[in-house]
C-alpha cells in the first residue's frame, strides 16, 4: 500500500471527529499564527491540513490567502463540503509533501500539525525541508507540532519520530531560528493522552 492509499483508507473509514489527532479547534496553532502573522493578507499554507478545522478558524479571523495541502483527496473534499461556498476562498492542493511542486518564496507562514513526525526516513525529512526552504519567504515563520519526547511511538498504524525542540532543530538546519516551544497534552476522541510539541521557527534567510 502506498502512503497516499494508506491515508485515503484512514480518512474513508473514520469520521473527521474520530481520528486520533482530532481537535474541534487548534487553539495553540491559532495563538502562534496570529502572533507571527498579524497581517490578514499573509500567505499561509497548512501542510497536512486534511479535514482539520484550522482553515475554518483562519477564514473566520479574516485571513484571505490560505492554502491547504493534504495527501488524501478524500480529506480535502470533506473539508470543502464542510466549508460550503467559503471553500472557494481557499487554495486546495493534493499531493505528497515530499514530492509536491510548490511555488518559490510564496508563503509567509507554514503550518504543520502531525505530518513531520511521520517522516521516519532521513531522505523523506530532507525532501520536506527542501520544499520548506523553497516555498517559504525570507523571514517567514514555521509553526510545527509533532509528538513530543513522551508522545506515542506509533500512530494510525505507522511508526513516528518523537521530538524535543532541539532534536527538531537538527533536520531543519541553522537557517531556522527557534522562537518558542510548548508541550501540550492532546486527548484523542477515545480519551487517550498524547504529548505534542509545538514549535515556532523563523526562517533567517
Q: Which residues of 1-22 are buried (b: 16+ CB within 10 A; e: fewer)?
A: eebeeebbebbeeeeeeebbbb
Phi (first) and psi of residue 117, to 5 degrees: -70, -10
Asked if 56 and 80 touch (Cβ cutoff 8 Å), the reply is no
Query: With pLDDT > 70 as the criterion, what percentage of the chain qualifies?
Result: 94
pTM surpassing 0.75?
yes
Q: Among 47, 188, 174, which Cα is nearest to 111's?
A: 47
Q: Among 81, 138, 136, which Cα is nearest to 112's?
A: 136
pLDDT band at 8 (very low <50, low <70, confident <90, very high): confident
What pLDDT, in 10s, does the model give residues 133-169? 999 999 999 999 999 999 999 988 889 999 999 999 9
Give all domains of the chain, ordered by start, each with its CATH number. Answer: 3-203 (3.40.50.150)
Cα distance between residue 99 and residue 110, in whole Å: 16
Amino acid at each position: 500500500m502506498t502512503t497516499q492509499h494508506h491515508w485515503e483508507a484512514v480518512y474513508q473509514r473514520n469520521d473527521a471527529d474520530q481520528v486520533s489527532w482530532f481537535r474541534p479547534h487548534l487553539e495553540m496553532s491559532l495563538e502562534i499564527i496570529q502572533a507571527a502573522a498579524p497581517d490578514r493578507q499573509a500567505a499561509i499554507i497548512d501542510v497536512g491540513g486534511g479535514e482539520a478545522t484550522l482553515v475554518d478558524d483562519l477564514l473566520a479571523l479574516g485571513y484571505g490567502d490560505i492554502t491547504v495541502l493534504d495527501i488524501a483527496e478524500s480529506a480535502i473534499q470533506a473539508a470543502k463540503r464542510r466549508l460550503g461556498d467559503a471553500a472557494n476562498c481557499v487554495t486546495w492542493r493534493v499531493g505528497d509533501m515530499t514530492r509536491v511542486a510548490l511555488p518559490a518564496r510564496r508563503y509567509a507562514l507554514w503550518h504543520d500539525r502531525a505530518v513531520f513526525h511521520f517522516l521516519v526516513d532521513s531522505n523523506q525529512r530532507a525532501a520536506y525541508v527542501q520544499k520548506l526552504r523553497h516555498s517559504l519567504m525570507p523571514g517567514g515563520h514555521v509553526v510545527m507540532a509533532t509528538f513530543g519526547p513522551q508522545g506515542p511511538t506509533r500512530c494510525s498504524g505507522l511508526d513516528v519520530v518523537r521530538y524535543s525542540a532541539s532534536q527538531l532543530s537538527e533536520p531543519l538546519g541553522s537557517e531556522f531560528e527557534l522562537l518558542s516551544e510548548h508541550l501540550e497534552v492532546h486527548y484523542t476522541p477515545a480519551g487517550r493522552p498524547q504529548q505534542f510539541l509545538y514549535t515556532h521557527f523563523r526562517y533567517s534567510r
